Amino acid sequence: MSPLLITALALMLACLFGWWRQTVTRNAGHVDVIWTFGVGASAVFYLAVGSGDIWHRLFAAGLAGFWSLRLGMHIWRRVHGVEEEGRYRAIRQHYGGRVNLFHLFFFLSQGLLAWLFALPHFVIAAHPGGSQAMLVAGVAIGIVALAGEAIADRQLQHFRQQPANRGKTCRSGLWRYSRHPNYFFEWLHWFSYPLIAWGAPHAGWLWLAPVFMFLFLWFVTGIPYTERQALKSRGDDYRRYQNSTSPFIPWRPRS
């Protein structure tokens, strides 16, 4: 059986199980965990069964595996055993009795997206070997991106754990230079794989990964929702933060 078909079936089953669980727990936030682990598991599977250059496969598997494990566990700790996040509560209120039908299509669509975002690793798995400079560049960007995202998440978590910061906006560390440094480094991470795949058949298509990730973060699931929620909960304090701080790419804050 084709590796592409195996991952498609596995992701579909995982999403159907996640959908069933949310009908019991009334918490659809676990779909983000399924997406993250689904991408990582599919990527590592492709690279494990591939026949391409071993060094390209090993480095790509290391980046994808670490990214998936760290981010998946971070999201799991955020959504498991707590009240459903605001965006999913809003969906539940909007659809009412039809929400489970909506979530069925939503969970399956996230499985499809996970399958698509794992495709760069299918290309890398067949890499015949080539430019070592591009391999080093891709791995270096990946390491910087993974470290930056982990640092940003940890800084925000530490800020939120302080009772005195309740209702305030984090302006320390990386959050002084970007309103969403975690999203920026998540986007940067997806530049690693086109560089690692440089010279492989169909590698040019992999540049669509950072393009689509940017579109999702900027227009769909990332910044728009986060900004709306921040304005609701922090009001004028967050508006001042918006006026002084870059929305995405880290940059010197405005006075």
Helix (H, G, I), strand (E, B) or coil at 92: helix
Same domain, 66 and 152: no
Last residue in a domain, options 111, 129, 147: 129
CB 27 within 8 A of CB 88: yes
Confidence of residue 58 (pLDDT cuts 50, 70, 90): very high
- Same domain? For 100 and 159 the reply is no
The pLDDT, as a whole number, for residue 90 is 80
pLDDT single digits (tens) 208-236 = 999 999 999 999 888 888 898 889 888 99
Same domain, 208 and 241: yes
Q: Domains in the chain: how many in total?
A: 2
Q: Domain limits at 81?
A: 1-129
207 and 111 part of one domain: no
The predicted structure's pLDDT at residue 130: 78
pLDDT of residue 89: 83
Q: How confident is the model at residue 65 (pLDDT cuts 50, 70, 90)?
A: very high
Q: Predicted confidence band at 1 (pLDDT cuts at 50, 70, 90)?
A: confident
> Which tops the pLDDT comparison, 87 or 21?
21
59-85: average pLDDT: 93
Q: Which of 129, 151, 170 is the last residue of a domain?
A: 129
Is residue 89 located within the same domain as residue 43? Answer: yes
Average pLDDT over residues 135-162: 96
Q: Last residue of some domain: 61, 96, 129?
A: 129
Residues 73-111: tens digit of each pLDDT: 999 998 988 888 878 888 888 888 899 999 999 999 999
Q: What is the rounded CA–CA span in Å between residue 164 and residue 162?
A: 5
Over residues 155-160, the mean pLDDT reads 94
Taking CA atoms, 81 is separated from 27, 121, 135, in Å, by: 9, 33, 41
pLDDT value at 52 more than 80: yes
Pure H helices in 81-222: 86-95, 99-117, 119-124, 132-160, 181-189, 192-196, 208-215
The count of residues in the chain is 255
Are 38 and 97 contained in the same domain? yes
- If pLDDT is split at 50, 70 and 90, which confidence band does 167 have? confident
Are 48 and 138 within one domain? no
- Whether residues 125 and 137 share a domain: the answer is no
**Are 84 and 28 spatial neighbours (Cβ–Cβ below 8 Å)?**
yes
Give the CA distances from residue 2 to residues 6, 38, 120, 122, in Å, rounded to whole numbers and listed in that order.
Answer: 6, 17, 16, 11
Are 26 and 82 in the same domain?
A: yes
* Domain shared by 5 and 27, yes or no: yes
* 125 shares its domain with 136: no
| One domain, residues 45 and 76 | yes
pLDDT at 20: 96
Q: What is the mean pLDDT of the chain?
A: 93
Task: Specify the pLDDT at position 15.
Answer: 97
Residue 62 has pLDDT above 90, yes or no: yes
